[in-house]
Amino acid sequence: MADFKTELGKVTLKNPVMTASGTFGYGYEYAELYPLDKLGAVVVKGISLDPVSGNPMPRHAEITSGVINAVGLQNPGVEEFINGEKYLPFLRKSNAAAVINIWGKTINEYVEVAEILNEQNGITALEINISCPNIKEGGIAFGTDLKMANKVVSEIRKVTTLPLVTKLSPNVTRIADFAKTVVDAGSDMISLINTLTGMVIDIETRKPVLANKIGGVSGPAVKPVAVKLVHEVYNAVDVPIIGMGGIQNGSDAIEFMLAGADAVAVGTAVFSDPYAPLKVIEEIGQYLDRHNIKSVKDIVGRLESV
């Protein structure tokens, strides 16, 4: 059987499959189904300085080959996340690698959250969300402006020794430029892609389906876009990459890894099959064994020319 050990800079995971932020809650929601430490890592819903109730309903809808959502980064706030039994204390007990996604409406809020979490045990890394299209302040505003992207990462880097993952937006013209600027600012890793911006209209009512009007598109429909952008970033920077966007099975995950991803995150697939991440792990193993590949790292970036 192939070696699944995955090295992301200073972070070592037992396998390269994690969950995508916003799709797996805080881990406890799925812990009755299987032990969380079977995953490479659990990436939690975005945590902000203060509690956030999210956008008004309706805030999600099924679309062809995917989902569109405008949940609005609902979360309990960093203090409750640290102290509430079902949040960080639960993750510590699970023995799962825990990546904490963070966001803010201002750079100061990002920094405060990062500084608070830096003092906590049981955190594997911070994922900086500069790419969510579902809130009116912060989020994508930082992820689509090169100077702001650099600034938020550099300021967070000053207050934490935790490994930093920056989550990039696909809603830009040259994603390689954003990868370079966040790495220059101190990001140890990059994750991509976050959702594509979209809109759905009910033709009978002639109104947007989402109360927020626009939302983030995810699921199988975005996978070819995500694979392309991962490959562009792989060729632009020399840091570990976590690829995501429409991964449903092991074959999808291998596409991302051949394109340059060191690890992958399973997101929307969990909504229809909560066991999807475990199946992805199993199917990657089957692929490696079938091709007599000894280590999962040996397929990263091994895309052959046409």
Average pLDDT rounded to a whole number, residues 16-23: 97
pLDDT reported for residue 102 = 97
- pLDDT of 146 over the 60 cut: yes
pLDDT reported for residue 143 = 85
pLDDT reported for residue 98 = 98
pLDDT reported for residue 132 = 66
Confidence of residue 1 (pLDDT cuts 50, 70, 90): confident
CA dist list (Å): 258 to 210, 221, 223, 241, 254: 36, 19, 14, 12, 6
pLDDT in tens, 170-193: 999 999 999 999 999 999 999 999
- pLDDT of 69 over the 70 cut: yes
Confidence of residue 31 (pLDDT cuts 50, 70, 90): very high
Average pLDDT rounded to a whole number, residues 42-59: 96
Compute φ and ψ for 152, nearest 5 degrees. -65, -40
pLDDT reported for residue 137 = 52
Does an H or E element contain 231, and which? helix 223-234
List of domains in the chain? 6-54+72-196+219-299 (3.20.20.70)
- pLDDT of 92 over the 80 cut: yes
pLDDT in tens, 33-47: 999 999 999 999 999
Interior/surface letters 128-139, b for 16+ CB within 10 angstroms, e for the rest: bbbbbbbbeebb
**Residues assigned a catalytic role:** 132
- pLDDT of 105 over the 80 cut: yes
pLDDT reported for residue 133 = 58
Question: Would you say 52 and 101 are in contact if contact means Cβ atoms under 8 Å apart?
Answer: no
Report how far residue 18's alpha carbon sits from residue 133's, in angstroms, rounded to the nearest whole number: 22
pLDDT in tens, 106-137: 999 999 999 999 999 999 999 999 976 555 55
pLDDT reported for residue 306 = 72
Beta bridge partners of 198: 215
Q: What is the mean pLDDT of the chain?
A: 95
pLDDT in tens, 209-260: 999 999 999 999 999 999 999 999 999 999 999 999 999 999 999 999 999 9
pLDDT reported for residue 142 = 81
CA dist list (Å): 222 to 62, 174, 217, 229, 260: 14, 17, 8, 11, 17
- pLDDT of 157 over the 90 cut: yes
Confidence of residue 201 (pLDDT cuts 50, 70, 90): very high
